Amino acid sequence: MPEPGRRRAAPSKGDLREAKLLEVLEELLAVKSFDALTTNDIAERAGLSRASMYFYFSSKQEALVALFAKTVEALHEKSRAAADDPAAPRDAIATALRRTRERWHEHGLIMRVAIDQSSAIPELGALWMETADIFIAAIATILVRAGVPDEEGPDGARAIAGALCWMIERTFYHASAVSPAALDQASETCRVVWLRAAGIRP
C-alpha cells in the first residue's frame, strides 16, 4: 500500500508493453487458434520485434499462462467473496453465479483456450485447479449454511460442492462458446441445480 499522501507510481514502459502483449494475445485468439498462433504474430500485432517480445515472454505458452493468471485472479477474489457473503444462501448462490457468469461473458474465450491447453501446459492446469479449489470451498461454505452436513462422504458438503463446481465449469464452458444468451440460460440452470442441492426450493 502506498503511504498516505503519496501517489501510486505510474506503470513503467515495460509494464505497459507486457500488458499490450497480453491484450494482443486475447485479440488474436478471437480470430486464430492457439496452435496456429506464433510469437511473431503476437509481436507484430503489438508493434514490437520478436526479440523484444522474448524480453517479456519466452514463448506463446508463457504468455498464455500470464494472460490466464490475470483472468482467473478476479475469479479467485469473487469466489472468496462468495464464501464470506453474509446474505442468505439463496441470495449468496445467485450472487456467486452472477459474478462467475460475468467473468465468462468477458473472458470465456481465454478460459476455454486455457482449459483446452491445460494438458499440454501444466501451469494452466495448476491455475485452473487452484481456481476450482477456491470455488469448491465457497460452494461448500454456502451449502453448510443452508443445512447440508459438513462431513466427509458422498453426501457431505465438500463432495457435493465438488460436483457442483465441475458441473458449472462444463456448463459455462460450452454455453460461452454459443452466445451470451446461452450463457445466461446456463447460469440460471446452474442456479436451480445448486439451490436444489442445498435443499432450497428454486
85 occurs within a structural domain: yes
Give me the number of domains the chain comprises.
2
2 occurs within a structural domain: no
For the chain, the DSSP string reads: -PPTT-PPPPPPHHHHHHHHHHHHHHHHHTTS-TTT--HHHHHHHHT--HHHHHHH-SSHHHHHHHHHHHHHHHHHHHHHHHHH--S-HHHHHHHHHHHHHHHHHHHHHHHHHHHHHTTT-HHHHHHHHHHHHHHHHHHHHHHHHTT---SSSTTSHHHHHHHHHHHHHHHHHHHHTT-HHHHHHHHHHHHHHHHHHTT---
pLDDT of residue 11: 61
192 in the same domain as 129: yes
Average of per-residue pLDDT across 3-21: 67
3 occurs within a structural domain: no
Task: Give the distance from CA 59 to its chain's centroid.
Answer: 22
Banded model confidence at residue 9, pLDDT cuts 50, 70, 90 = low
107 in the same domain as 17: no
146 in the same domain as 48: no
pTM: 0.86
pLDDT of residue 14: 60
Instruction: Tell me: pLDDT of 51 over 60.
Output: yes
Distance CA 102, CA 120 (A): 27
Question: What's the CATH code of the domain at 25?
Answer: 1.10.10.60
Average of per-residue pLDDT across 163-178: 97
169 in the same domain as 97: yes
53 occurs within a structural domain: yes
72 in the same domain as 54: no
176 in the same domain as 95: yes
Average of per-residue pLDDT across 70-75: 86
Instruction: Tell me: pLDDT of 6 over 90.
Output: no
184 in the same domain as 158: yes
63 occurs within a structural domain: no
73 in the same domain as 46: no
For 84-96, what is each residue's pLDDT tens digit?
888 899 999 999 9
158 in the same domain as 79: yes
pLDDT of residue 2: 47
Q: In terms of residue numbers, what domain contains 178?
A: 68-197
117 in the same domain as 37: no
168 in the same domain as 74: yes
72 occurs within a structural domain: yes
* CB distance 70 to 26 below 8 Å: no
82 in the same domain as 48: no
